[in-house]
Amino acid sequence: MTPPKHPLFAFALLSLFATSATRADAPAPYTVKIPGTDVTVEMVPLPGGTFQMGSPAKEKGRKKDEGPQHTVTVRPFYISRTEIPWEAYGAFLDIGMERLLDGLDKDDAVDAVTYPTPPYADETFGFGDGKQPAIALTVHAVNEFNHWLSSGAGKRYRLPTEAEWEYACRAGTRTAYSFGDKSKGIDTVAWYVKNSKKRPNPVGLKKPNPWGLLDMHGNVAEWVIDQYDAGAYAKATAGGLGFVAPGENRFSHVVRGGGWKDKPEALRCSARRFSEPWWSKQDPQNPRSIWWHTESTDIGFRIVHVPDEYPELKGFRSRIVK
Amino acid sequence: MNDKNNGKLGDWWTRREVVKTSAAVGVGAMVATRLGRIKRAIAGTGKTDELRIGLIGCGGRGSGAAEDAIESTPNVRLIAMGDLFPDRLAAARKQFSGNKFADRLTVTDDHAYSGWDCFEKVLKTDIDYVILATPPGFRPMQLKAAIAAGKHVFTEKPMAVDGPGIRTLFEVADEADKKKLSIGVGLQRRHHPGYIEMVKRLKGGAIGQIVGARSYWNQGALWMKPREKSWSDMEWQLRNWLYFNWLSGDHINEQHIHNIDVVNWVLGKNPVAAVGMGGRQQRVDPAFGHIYDHFAIDFEYPGDIHALSMCRQMLGCVNSVSEHFQGATGQAHADNKLFEITGKKKWKFDGEANPYEQEHADLIAAIRSGKPYNELRRGAESNLTAIMGRMATYTGQRVTWDQALNSQESLMPAELAFGKLPVGPVPIPGKTKFL
């Protein structure tokens, strides 16, 4: 096993204390303004690095698809400090609906942005909007939000790859959780089945992980860009990108980090879940919406910006059309 | 039932019935019995319990309902379908071909119908159970035809858009009972275990005497299909049926009926009168027909209990689709997947459900066991509650239950054919007259 490198550790310490005295050579956090609103999302820089992805066979709660552990190298990237709240996603939704009211429900010829179809009822499921995480969106709806944001915010945004997500969640640690191997103490870091009061909670209220990221464990499980492949890790090449390209199929895509309905084991850094058709089972329309799920009220997302983007992901667009 | 005048709808239907559906009625008479005694052979199994379904109205909800029915229960097969528009018929058939239960969605070319008389053709086929999912304005006549043809019915909500239509529903409900035919209504909250348990507890006194209720369907905007040059007035209105009163009954009737029905269910009675206000502020373009985009109603129940009811389809506003009850000793809340009772007898629902399948499973189980099952009356009552609210809002007057029920206003156009069809004015409270 290749020992993981630790250029991250020094950087992590630096970034914790770097809010006022930023060193010239260390990238600083920045905020992205959601077009047409005053809403901002804070983006945290993470150094590139190499880490062990997946969990050891003896880890408590581990499932087979978390192995074998393998080495992955990621390029430096920025990741949103929090899960994306409704106040940010809602701007995209509202534009789509306003265009509909104006009779412009066709794709925009200039940037080919598509907008969500109107939700059948209350898209917040009664949990409220504002700082509540945007939930029950399909991976297509999330990828198209990122394309729209990229068109209006001057930088490209996308979902993290599964490897980037796990790298960010681990924040330089090699334990089951970013705070240790045992779930003791999870209440201060995460919303999960025991403390969530059976609902998603406003983003960013719990303690951050060592790199300053909030709600990586719990609250809502988070979409990553990868299609789910239970055997992906066995096929991974050492030091590779660790990425399974999504295609035209709606199902299944990976979600990470566990959510408010889950037990601690499902919140582990390496725990993988994937989307399934039953997530849309109460969609009264046929065919079922490619924008909205009806059951996944515990699934949300966060975004990344990669300055030196991987060739495979340049200009990424959702390929799901039905 | 007071039914001195059935209005244009009834006249129209009677004419067509005589001319076109006498054969359907004849076929119906042969199978006018509960399915428990029909015992159809199931192909290739040697068993005999197959239920055959027909679908009338193949839009997103109709084809969804057909799939729900198939997935809800074993030994159910879709064998016939009809839609006015050939493109919608073709789209639904294509969708079915990719379903995991495609082997039970086996509609052959000679059982797939389009055109104005497609529903009559579906009813003439060898089906036991018909799903009615065309725009609601057509429902009274199609329900009447389905029961006349001896079919069990699953009808989407709402089932009518005006007083004459509601009166037809009550007649059809009686007729179904006489013929031992079952009718299920697509008010799926009645089949959700969270609602069922909450209502049981409320009726058992969990929050004491209920003194008031609130219900909401406040959401953003819905789809609209920009008019294409080739479309006649009629085709444009049908393809945008939400926005025309004669087809949808306005959104208080088309969507908010769900929440209104829960209030009637919990209170165990229907309101005696309504006062409302509403209008059309965002959705002012003629592309959105003539319906309102918001309503707020005060429903008055016996015993001076009042229920506040709001519905809105406007962008950028706070949303909620929920029902709430105030009792002497606590409150109850039903909000999407949350069901909660507060006070001394606290309770919270913990479970998952798919009421869209359950509503078919319950109806099919009743048909197979021969148990009487008819949801049409209570569905029609909630339907009338919504229509009464709309009438009170449009006119700006206090409208009573009896007035709404006996309203002489039929919204159905004189002629159903592709061609000219002017859009009625947007109602103005204080000026629009109650008819």
- B269-314: per-residue pLDDT in tens? 999 999 999 999 999 999 999 999 999 999 999 999 999 999 999 9
Complex prediction ipTM: 0.79
Query: Given 3-state DSSP classes, what are the helix, strand and coil percentages for chain A, each rounded to the nearest 5?
Result: 20, 15, 60
A13 or A90: which carries more pLDDT confidence? Answer: A90
Indicate whether B64 pLDDT > 80: yes
Per the CB < 8 A criterion, the answer to whether B155 and B396 are in contact is no
Least confident of A107-111, A181-185, B410-414, B425-429: A107-111
pLDDT in the model for residue B328: 97
Query: In this structure, what DSSP letter does residue A212 have?
Result: S
Q: Rounded to an integer, what distance in angstroms lies between the CA atom of residue A131 and that of residue A320? A: 28
Q: Which stretches of A75-197 are assigned E, i.e. beta strand? A: 77-80
CB pairs under 8 A between A and B: 91
CA A256 to chain centre: 7
Per the CB < 8 A criterion, the answer to whether A221 and A255 are in contact is yes
Residue A227 in tokens = 């299609």
Label residue A272 left, alpha or beta by phi (over 0 means left) and psi (-120 to 50 means alpha): beta
Indicate whether A227 pLDDT > 90: yes
pLDDT per residue over B273-282, tens digit each?
Answer: 999 999 999 9
Query: Residue A103's closest chain B neighbor by CA?
Result: B226
Given B221, B318, B352, which is nearest A97 (Cβ)? B221
Query: Residue B313's closest chain A neighbor by CA?
Result: A121
pLDDT in the model for residue A103: 65
Question: Quick check: helix, strand or coil at residue B324?
Answer: strand
B360 or A109: which carries more pLDDT confidence? Answer: B360
Least confident of A62-71, A157-166, B348-357: B348-357
Chain B contact probe: residue of A106, A286, A296, A322 with most B CBs at under 10 A? A286
pLDDT in the model for residue B49: 82
pLDDT in the model for residue B349: 94
Burial class (CB in 10 A: 0-12, 13-18, 19+), B58: buried
pLDDT in the model for residue A25: 64
Chain A CB contacts of B60 under 8 Å are 284-287
Indicate whether A117 pLDDT > 70: yes
Given B220, B283, B288, which is nearest A118 (Cβ)? B220
pLDDT band at A322 (very low <50, low <70, confident <90, very high): confident
Tokens 């444009």 correspond to what residue?
B236
- CB-based contact (8 Å) between A122 and chain B? yes
What average pLDDT score do residues B111-127 get?
Answer: 97
The residues pairing with B397 across neighbouring beta strands, listed in sequence order, are: none
pLDDT in the model for residue B219: 93
Smallest Cα distance from B417 to chain A, Å: 26
- CB-based contact (8 Å) between A194 and chain B? no
* Contact call for B95 and A287, based on CB within 8 A: yes
* Contact call for A125 and B336, based on CB within 8 A: yes
Smallest Cα distance from B220 to chain A, Å: 7
Residue A2 in tokens = 């290749």
Query: Residue A92's closest chain B neighbor by CA?
Result: B316
Indicate whether B372 pLDDT > 70: yes
Per the CB < 8 A criterion, the answer to whether B265 and B199 are in contact is yes
Chain B CB contacts of A124 under 8 Å are 319
End-to-end CA distance of chain A: 43
pLDDT in the model for residue A221: 98
pLDDT in the model for residue B20: 38
pLDDT in the model for residue B41: 67
Q: Rounded to an integer, what distance in angstroms lies between the CA atom of residue A169 and that of residue A203? A: 16
Q: Look at the alpha carbons of B83, B88, B94, B97 in this order and tell me if their dihedral is positive or negative.
A: negative
pLDDT per residue over B73-90, tens digit each?
Answer: 999 999 999 999 999 999
B43 or B288: which carries more pLDDT confidence? Answer: B288
Chain B CB contacts of A129 under 8 Å are 318-319
pLDDT in the model for residue B221: 87
pLDDT in the model for residue A97: 79
B224 or A322: which carries more pLDDT confidence? Answer: B224
Q: What is the mean pLDDT of chain B?
A: 90
What average pLDDT score do residues B174-181 get?
Answer: 97
Q: Look at the alpha carbons of A193, A194, A198, A203 in this order and tell me if their dihedral is positive or negative.
A: negative
- CB-based contact (8 Å) between A297 and chain B? yes
What average pLDDT score do residues A176-197 get?
Answer: 97
Least confident of A51-55, A116-120, A138-142: A116-120
pLDDT in the model for residue A94: 85
Per the CB < 8 A criterion, the answer to whether A229 and A254 are in contact is no
Indicate whether B222 pLDDT > 50: yes
3-state secondary structure B235-286: HHHHHCHHHCHHHHCCHHHHCCHHHHHHHHHHHCCCCCEEEEEEECCCCCCH
What average pLDDT score do residues B341-365 get?
Answer: 93
pLDDT in the model for residue A206: 98
Given A97, A117, A288, which is nearest B315 (Cβ)? A97
Which helix or strand (DSSP H or E) is residue B252 part of? helix B251-254
* CB interface of B with A, residues 183-222, below 8 Å: 217-222
Least confident of A136-150, B27-41, B154-168, B213-227: B27-41
What percentage of chain A has pLDDT greater than the value 90? 72
Indicate whether B44 pLDDT > 90: no
* Contact call for B60 and A126, based on CB within 8 A: no
pLDDT band at B47 (very low <50, low <70, confident <90, very high): low
Per the CB < 8 A criterion, the answer to whether A223 and A255 are in contact is yes
Residue B275 in tokens = 């006062």
pLDDT in the model for residue B42: 66
Tokens 């601690």 correspond to what residue?
A264
Chain B contact probe: residue of A122, A249, A322 with most B CBs at under 10 A? A122
Chain A CB contacts of B318 under 8 Å are 129
Per the CB < 8 A criterion, the answer to whether A76 and A44 are in contact is no
* Contact call for B337 and A297, based on CB within 8 A: yes
Least confident of A275-279, B27-31, B54-58: B27-31
pLDDT per residue over B135-164, tens digit each?
Answer: 999 999 999 999 999 999 999 999 999 999
What percentage of chain B has pLDDT greater than the value 70? 89
